[in-house]
């Protein structure tokens, strides 16, 4: 059987695309191995009607919605290879030896992230140390916060200043502030530490202080950092998809990439801003793009 569409990734983007295609009566495969990067987060914010929901619960509810449409099949497999068979369809191989065929592909697998090389940072990430002020800034408002960044230091500090004026910036001996940026931050009462970070202290995921290489302890109860984001699958590169300025997969308004029959949605496409509600909207648009193209191709075929 050749399916109409295979979706790689079952987060908000993939599930939204599957919902659109299910309601469009398209035979669809949704592959999801439950490795989403936001699963380390206790609460997800900014998703209308679901503000504060656990990411796993949001996924559970999304799967329940999609399950109403029997033309959509959820596969808890990992795709390990995609090969273009012809102009008309692709072959997808899974980690357990299964093979599937599909006309269209939607890459919605999201991103993987590499945290800054700081001892113990993973113990606090997702609990009191986060990457997105729009997602978690409200919960940390007015508190003494750390900005731990080796890139986009100034921009991140400016954003977080909206929620708290008690900020300390840590560049870990790597990050660089442009001429005048350090003075601008300090003029706002933001302390800047350019020393190497020796580690983070706290208990049960709750940050208590940042320890510098010389032993100095800077009391902080939470903060934000800048992980290095990259695609969680190699398929965009392997299939020849062009990337945008942020490293995301370049698409039009309906998720179409430069590669015929390949679409992308969510964080894999945007990189920034990384928001669940935006990813869901992107997935819906990609689903509409796929269904519209299938419809047009059917009527244009002689």
List the domain boundaries for the chain: 2-112+228-300, 116-225
Long-range residue pairs from 178-183, CB within 8 A, at least 24 positions apart, any chain: 178/154, 181/153, 181/154
* pLDDT at residue 302, rounded to an integer: 56
CA 253, 259, 263, 269 torsion-angle sign = negative
Say if 2-112+228-300 and 116-225 have the same CATH topology.
Answer: yes
125: three-class secondary structure by DSSP: strand
* pLDDT at residue 55, rounded to an integer: 87
User: What superfamily in CATH does domain 2-112+228-300 come from?
Assistant: FAD/NAD(P)-binding domain (3.50.50.60)
Nearest to 94 by CA among 39, 35, 33, 37: 33
**Fold for domain 116-225?**
FAD/NAD(P)-binding domain (3.50.50)
Give the helix ranges, DSSP H, for 152-216: 153-160, 181-187
Written as tens digits, the pLDDT of the chain (302 aa) is 999 999 999 999 999 999 999 999 999 999 998 776 555 567 888 888 888 888 889 999 999 999 999 999 999 989 999 999 987 899 999 999 999 999 999 999 988 888 999 999 999 999 999 999 999 999 999 999 999 998 889 999 999 999 999 999 999 998 788 889 999 999 999 999 999 999 999 999 999 999 999 999 999 999 999 988 888 899 999 999 999 888 889 999 999 999 999 999 998 888 777 788 999 999 999 999 999 999 999 888 75
Give the other-Cβ count within 10 Å of 262's Cβ: 23
* pLDDT at residue 33, rounded to an integer: 84
* pLDDT at residue 169, rounded to an integer: 97
* pLDDT at residue 39, rounded to an integer: 55
Long-range residue pairs from 210-218, CB within 8 A, at least 24 positions apart, any chain: 210/146, 210/148, 210/168, 210/170, 213/173, 218/146, 218/168, 218/170, 218/191, 218/193
Peptide linkage before 273 cis (omega within 30 of 0): yes
Which residue carries 């903060």 as its tokens? 223
* pLDDT at residue 107, rounded to an integer: 97
Nearest to 44 by CA among 69, 6, 90, 11: 11
CA 178, 183, 187, 193 torsion-angle sign = positive
Nearest to 222 by CA among 136, 115, 161: 136
In contact, 7 and 92? CB cutoff 8 Å? no
Question: Strand 111-114 and strand 167-170: pairing?
Answer: unpaired
Specify burial of residue 203 (Cβ count, 10 A radius: 0-12, 13-18, 19+).
Answer: exposed
């Amino acid at each position: 059987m050749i399916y109409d569409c295979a979706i790689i990734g079952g987060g908000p983007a993939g599930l939204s695309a599957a919902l659109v295609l299910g309601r469009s009566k398209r035979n669809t495969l949704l592959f999801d191995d439950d490795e989403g990067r936001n699963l380390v987060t206790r609460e997800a914010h900014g998703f209308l009607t679901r503000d504060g929901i656990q990411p796993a619960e949001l996924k559970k509810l999304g799967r329940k919605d999609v399950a109403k449409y029997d033309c959509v099949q959820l596969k808890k497999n990992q795709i390990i290879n995609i090969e273009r068979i012809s102009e008309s369809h692709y072959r997808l191989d899974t980690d357990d030896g299964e093979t599937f065929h599909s006309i269209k592909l939607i890459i919605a697998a999201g991103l993987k992230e590499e945290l800054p090389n700081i001892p113990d940072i993973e113990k606090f990430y997702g609990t009191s140390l986060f990457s997105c002020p729009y997602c978690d800034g409200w919960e940390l408002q007015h508190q003494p916060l750390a900005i731990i960044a080796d890139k986009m230091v100034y921009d991140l500090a400016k954003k977080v200043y909206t929620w708290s004026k008690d900020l300390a910036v840590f560049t870990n001996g790597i990050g660089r502030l442009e001429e005048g940026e350090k003075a601008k931050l300090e003029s706002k009462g933001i302390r800047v530490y350019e020393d190497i970070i020796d580690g983070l202290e706290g208990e049960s995921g709750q940050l208590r202080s940042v320890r510098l290489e010389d032993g100095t302890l800077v009391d902080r109860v939470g903060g934000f950092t800048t992980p290095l984001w990259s695609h969680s699958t190699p398929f965009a590169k392997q299939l020849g998809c062009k990337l945008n300025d942020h490293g995301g997969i370049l698409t039009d308004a309906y998720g179409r990439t430069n590669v015929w029959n390949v679409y992308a949605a969510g964080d894999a496409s945007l990189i920034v801003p990384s928001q669940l509600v935006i990813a869901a909207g992107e997935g819906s648009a990609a689903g509409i793009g796929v269904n519209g193209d299938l419809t047009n191709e059917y009527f244009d075929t002689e």
